[in-house]
Structures are given as structure tokens and as C-alpha cells.
């Protein structure tokens, strides 16, 4: 069971990483307009002319 010694920290680190990624996305306002974001991806406005 020695494999747990490094597998468990890796699993936890991944989980915490995902949690912080979510908190960052929340803070940067990515959840303010969930409807608009869905449509924005279809917009060509940001393409270089």
C-alpha cells in the first residue's frame, strides 16, 4: 500500500487545484452572465480583420 503515499497527495492536489480554478473563475466574473457567454463563442467580432 506504499503507493498511497504519493497517490493520495496527488489526488488532493488535483482537487484543490480545481477548487482554486473555480474560485478564480468566479472572482473574475465568469459566472455573471452565463447566457451571454454561450452566445459569445459564436461571435466573430474578435477575429483579426
Choosing from 3, 10, 42, 47, the residue that interacts with another protein (CB under 8 A) is 42
Task: Examine residue 24 and tell whether it contacts another protein (CB under 8 A).
Answer: no
Task: Examine residue 49 and tell whether it contacts another protein (CB under 8 A).
Answer: no
Provide the H-helix boundaries in 1-49: 4-27, 34-40
Task: Examine residue 13 and tell whether it contacts another protein (CB under 8 A).
Answer: no
Q: Which residues of 3-42 are buried (b: 16+ CB within 10 A; e: fewer)?
A: eeeeeeeeeeeeeeeeeeeeeeeeeeeeeeeeeeeeeeee
- The residues that touch another protein, with contacts defined as CB under 8 A, are 1, 4, 8, 11-12, 15-16, 18-19, 22-23, 26, 31-36, 39-40, 42-43, 45
Amino acid at each position: 500500500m506504499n503507493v498511497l503515499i504519493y497517490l493520495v497527495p496527488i489526488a488532493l492536489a488535483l482537487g484543490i487545484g480545481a477548487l482554486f480554478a473555480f474560485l478564480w473563475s468566479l472572482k473574475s466574473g465568469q459566472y455573471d452572465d452565463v447566457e451571454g457567454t454561450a452566445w459569445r463563442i459564436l461571435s466573430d467580432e474578435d477575429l483579426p480583420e
